[in-house]
Amino acid sequence: MKQKATKWALALLLWMPGAQAQSIWNTDHLQSVKQSIDKPFYAHSYQALKAEATRLLDAEPLSVMMKEKTPASGDKHDYMSQARYYWPDPAKPHGLPYINRDGISNPELNKLDRNRLGATANRVTTLALAWYFSGEERYAQKATELLRVWFLNKETRMNPNLEYAQVTPGHNNDKGRSYGLIDTYSFVEMLDAVALLEPSKAFTAKDSKQLKAWFAQLTHWMLSSPQGKEEAECKNNHSIAYDVQIAAFSLYGGKQQQAIDIINALPARRIAKQIDTDGKQPHELTRTLAFHYSQYNLTHILDLLTMARNLNMDTEALAAHDGHSFYKAMDFLAQYMGKDSGTWPYRQISGWEEAQQNFCRDLYRTATWLNPTRKDYLRLYNDCRTLDLSDRFNLLYVQATEVDHAYAFAAGQLQLAMQCADKARKEQKNAARRHVVPRTIAKDGSLAMIPPHDWCSGFFPGSLWQMYAYTHSDFWRQSAISWTWPIEEAKWHKGTHDLGFMMYDSFGKAYELTGEQSYKDVVIQSARTLITRYSPKVKSIRSWDHNRDKWKYPVIIDNMMNLEMLFRATQLTGDSVYWKVAVDHANTTMKNHFRPDHSSYHVVDYDPETGDVRLKCTHQGHSDDSFWSRGQAWGLYGYAMCYRFTRNPAYLKQSENIADFFLSLPHMPADGVPYWDMKMDNINNLTPDNVNPDVPRDASAAALIASGLYELCTYVAPEKGRRYRATADKIVASLNSHYQAQPGTHYGFLLLHSTGHHPGGSEIDVPLNYADYYYLEALARKRALDAE
């Protein structure tokens, strides 16, 4: 009972508000993540973590007794590793003494203890985190077993010294080098994980006491041994890695002042001596992996500064000394982010991408946990990082936003969507008609697939490209490629005005993200095809060819969205013809499609011989004089886009007028998601909070409006811009909270409750691929604005 009481007293101390339980992790953050563990961004990482921890339940505990060699001491309990970059000298008998081949690892080190030490630290960390987030004691039991075998059990324990770390055969009587002290760096994070284990039943007060004693002995050895003293005087990353370990081990053992002393010495002792005033780290730049080691050293500094932050020390004062600065060193590396290794003026013989991704983590940690004013670091991180949603880093450091959660949700759904669509397109009925892209869910509950010539064919591949833009992951790039090229033939299709939807939202997105010529070629050909539908008499692009007995030259408000491809075609080719067609069309539409209150007709029909207006009506709205919601959204978005390219203030004013009219409708639902049409008898007398649940909403219109407002808010006066942005935020929050499909359902579509063609009885209260596309676009635009 006494032992149990002691254990819980210790646990209470560790978990008291303000108690220092972690060195480089943040207790408050971990608690926040735990409370949000079921939210998509964290759930992906958590499920991966838990799956790995479950696999480890059957893992054999590792120990120093497993190595194939015995150290010169004759005691296998002594840890032993081999210098990574030293190889047998081919010119010498037995290869002794070994010679240096910097940057090239010798696989002989696998026969000794280093990999097992790293694996044990990683396994304990994984299991402890799994216990912390799940509360399942089996993970704590396994973590405790691994700790006891490596550190505590008499038969298997490692002696608390590094006398034979990084032995170089043939040198120094086969004793270890000072550089070997870096081998235990993985214990820094592991001890943060061990601190999480304290309240578990498995990790006893005795375990805690013994482990603290073990690390106290190791720390004493590191401080007093010749190797430790030599490591402390190193002029490169090894000395700072040494400091991090001393500080972390001291904090774990309760010697806070010892850690503070180490941290306080950082500016003068390390930063001033290892970072030049221009940000270069000269001792790291001589290496064959110069970028890697420069970044590696900054991670060590960042770990120390993070400890300082957790101790409420002045991190800004600690980050610089006499013109030498941690931030200057970060800035020096930052200028090479996202660039080819050939731009790096020093050697990096391998691992360029990995080093860049590691530096991305440093950028994020610095901007989020150390200096939030460095938003440039956060932007660079967002631009250059490759996001792996299963990565443990997400749990430990990332402050996920609602946008991140929405994207993570989308990632899971879109993977399901690809599986369902791939299966569906192989079915005979779809294969025979070359239906290759998912559009919606049919009335019979099946997945509705469409051919390349359908106006919605570009939205699904476009959604995949948007996931690539968010993650920079090759998985999403390859997925997007595989769903984009099957619709290429539509670039020749002269029978539609919707080539902008079809080809620019797919191939155009691909080109913008990759710069590959093949995508550009498709976009340009699509623009050539589209302008064949332009009439110089009407000064507009014809929309439909059907219903010729009713319309002679119909133009619909939707057609505004196809102009983006034409504007870009001029930018890509230098040929002004596309631009002129786009401007003519925008001007004609602005003149004839809008009523005095700035609401829009759906269809305007022209006399193709004279260009005169024949009639104004609707096709998908409730009535000719009603406010079809998606039509208003097309106009709002379309004119904001036209202003982006032309800077014509008339287009900006038109977009503002549409927004002001539509958003101020007195019966607009409070969540910002409109009814499919906003002028009908059964809603006209309603209020925002008194909605008619029997009238279908249109999430696709809401996503369009939000995306358009995010662009529009950047062009208008600040006060108005804030209003537009707040409205867009409200809409996105509503879509996130109340319109998302349940994960793993609805064939992988993202949003429910859209309306396609209500008067035609088609696609009512269903998911639609264009709703998903503009939802993702709205998320991207919100994310960009939030990062400013």
Q: Indicate which CATH number applies to the domain containing 71.
A: 1.50.10.100
pLDDT tens per residue, range 512-571: 999 999 999 999 999 999 999 999 999 999 999 988 889 999 999 999 999 999 999 999
Cβ count within 10 A of residue 253: 20
Q: Is the confidence at residue 8, as pLDDT, over 80? A: no
Average pLDDT over residues 480-485: 98
- Provide the total of helices (H) and of strands (E) in the chain, helices listed first: 32, 15
Q: Is the confidence at residue 13, as pLDDT, over 50? A: no
Q: Which two tokens stand for residue 650?
A: 């008339």
Cβ count within 10 A of residue 622: 21
Give the angle 382-776-527 at the CA atoms, nearest 5°: 100
Run of H or E residues at 458 = none
Average pLDDT over residues 584-609: 98
The amino acid at residue 354 is E
Q: In which band, very low, low, confident or very high, does the pLDDT at 508 lie, cut at 50, 70 and 90?
A: very high
How would you write 160-188 as a 3-class SS string? Answer: CCCCEEEECCCCHHHCCCHHHHHHHHHHH
Residue 309 inside a domain? The answer is no
8-state DSSP, 17: T
Residue 663 inside a domain? The answer is yes
Alpha-carbon gap, residue 105 to 85, rounded angstroms: 5
Average pLDDT over residues 599-610: 98
Question: Strand, helix or coil at 354?
Answer: helix
Alpha-carbon gap, residue 431 to 724, rounded angstroms: 45
The parent domain of residue 524 ranges over 404-786
Query: What's the number of domains the chain is made of?
Result: 2
Asked which of 181, 209, 234 is the last residue of a domain, the reply is 234
Q: Is the confidence at residue 639, as pLDDT, over 70? A: yes
Alpha-carbon gap, residue 611 to 591, rounded angstroms: 12
Q: Which pLDDT score, from 0 to 100, does residue 149 have?
A: 98
For 525-601, strand residue ranges (E) read: 534-535, 540-541, 554-556
Q: Is the confidence at residue 3, as pLDDT, over 80? A: no
Alpha-carbon gap, residue 87 to 555, rounded angstroms: 75
8-state DSSP, 271: I
Is residue 561 left, alpha or beta, with left meaning phi > 0 and alpha meaning psi from -120 to 50? alpha
Contacts of 482 (CB under 8 A, 6+ apart): none
Q: In which band, very low, low, confident or very high, does the pLDDT at 94 lie, cut at 50, 70 and 90?
A: confident
How would you write 637-695 as a 3-class SS string? Answer: HHHHHHHHHHCCHHHHHHHHHHHHHHHCCCCCCCCCCCECECCCCCCCCCECCECCCCC
pLDDT tens per residue, range 390-424: 999 999 999 999 999 999 999 999 999 999 999 99
Alpha-carbon gap, residue 397 to 394, rounded angstroms: 6
The amino acid at residue 707 is S
Instruction: Specify whether the CB–CB gap between 315 and 327 falls below 8 A.
Output: no
Q: Which pLDDT score, from 0 to 100, does residue 19 have?
A: 38
Cα dihedral sign for 251, 255, 257, 261?
Answer: negative
Q: In which band, very low, low, confident or very high, does the pLDDT at 354 lie, cut at 50, 70 and 90?
A: very high
Q: In which band, very low, low, confident or very high, does the pLDDT at 88 lie, cut at 50, 70 and 90?
A: confident
Calculate what percentage of the chain has a pLDDT beyond 90: 91
Residue 573 inside a domain? The answer is yes
The amino acid at residue 295 is Q
Q: Is the confidence at residue 358, as pLDDT, over 70? A: yes
Least confident range of 35-49, 162-176, 325-339, 465-479: 162-176
What does the radius of gyration of the chain's CA atoms come to, in whole angstroms?
A: 32
Residue 374 inside a domain? The answer is no
Average pLDDT over residues 685-704: 96
Q: Which pLDDT score, from 0 to 100, does residue 727 have?
A: 98
The amino acid at residue 441 is I
Q: Which pLDDT score, from 0 to 100, does residue 103 have?
A: 81
Asked which of 177, 200, 234 is the last residue of a domain, the reply is 234
The amino acid at residue 203 is F
Alpha-carbon gap, residue 240 to 271, rounded angstroms: 9
Residue of 391, 339, 401, 336 lying closest to 368 (CA atoms): 401
Contacts of 738 (CB under 8 A, 6+ apart): 671
| Residue 218 φ then ψ, to 5° | -65, -40
Cβ count within 10 A of residue 780: 17
Residue 469 inside a domain? The answer is yes
Q: Which pLDDT score, from 0 to 100, does residue 111 have?
A: 85
- Choice between 2 and 289, residue whose per-residue pLDDT is larger: 289
Residue 210 inside a domain? The answer is yes
Q: Is the confidence at residue 10, as pLDDT, over 50? A: no
Average pLDDT over residues 625-653: 98
pLDDT tens per residue, range 335-348: 999 999 999 999 99
Q: Which pLDDT score, from 0 to 100, does residue 179 have?
A: 93
| Biggest distance spanned by C-alpha atoms of the chain | 102
Q: Is the confidence at residue 4, as pLDDT, over 50? A: no
- Choice between 84 and 611, residue whose per-residue pLDDT is larger: 611
CATH number at residue 648: 1.50.10.10
Q: Is the confidence at residue 6, as pLDDT, over 50? A: no
Q: Which pLDDT score, from 0 to 100, does residue 21 have?
A: 60
What integer best gives the mean pLDDT of the chain? 95
Alpha-carbon gap, residue 655 to 641, rounded angstroms: 9
Strand 554-556 vs strand 603-606: parallel, antiparallel, or unpaired?
A: antiparallel
Cβ count within 10 A of residue 372: 11
Q: Is the confidence at residue 757, as pLDDT, over 70? A: yes
Asked which of 234, 256, 277 is the last residue of a domain, the reply is 234
How would you write 222-253 as a 3-class SS string? Answer: HHHCHHHHHHHCCCCHHHHHHHHHHHHHHHHC
Is residue 94 left, alpha or beta, with left meaning phi > 0 and alpha meaning psi from -120 to 50? left
pLDDT tens per residue, range 185-218: 999 999 999 999 999 999 999 999 999 999 999 9
Q: Which two tokens stand for residue 123?
A: 């396994």
Does residue 61 have a cis bond before it (omega within 30 degrees)? no
Q: Which two tokens stand for residue 47?
A: 């499920």
String of DSSP letters for 494-528: TT-STHIIIIIIIIIHHHHHH--HHHHHHHHHHHH
Q: Is the confidence at residue 17, as pLDDT, over 90? A: no
Alpha-carbon gap, residue 194 to 124, rounded angstroms: 8
pLDDT tens per residue, range 760-775: 999 999 999 999 999 9
Residue 567 inside a domain? The answer is yes
The residues carrying an active-site annotation are 498, 558
Strand 80-82 vs strand 164-167: parallel, antiparallel, or unpaired?
A: parallel
Q: Which pLDDT score, from 0 to 100, does residue 769 have?
A: 98
Cβ count within 10 A of residue 754: 30
Alpha-carbon gap, residue 551 to 545, rounded angstroms: 9
Cβ count within 10 A of residue 502: 30
pLDDT tens per residue, range 719-735: 999 999 999 999 999 99
| Residue 380 φ then ψ, to 5° | -65, -40
Residue of 148, 146, 101, 106 lying closest to 123 (CA atoms): 146
pLDDT tens per residue, range 654-676: 999 999 999 999 999 999 999 99
Average pLDDT over residues 296-315: 97
The amino acid at residue 621 is G
Residue 261 inside a domain? The answer is no
HSE-up of residue 80 (Cα within 13 Å, Cβ side): 23
Calculate what percentage of the chain has a pLDDT beyond 70: 97
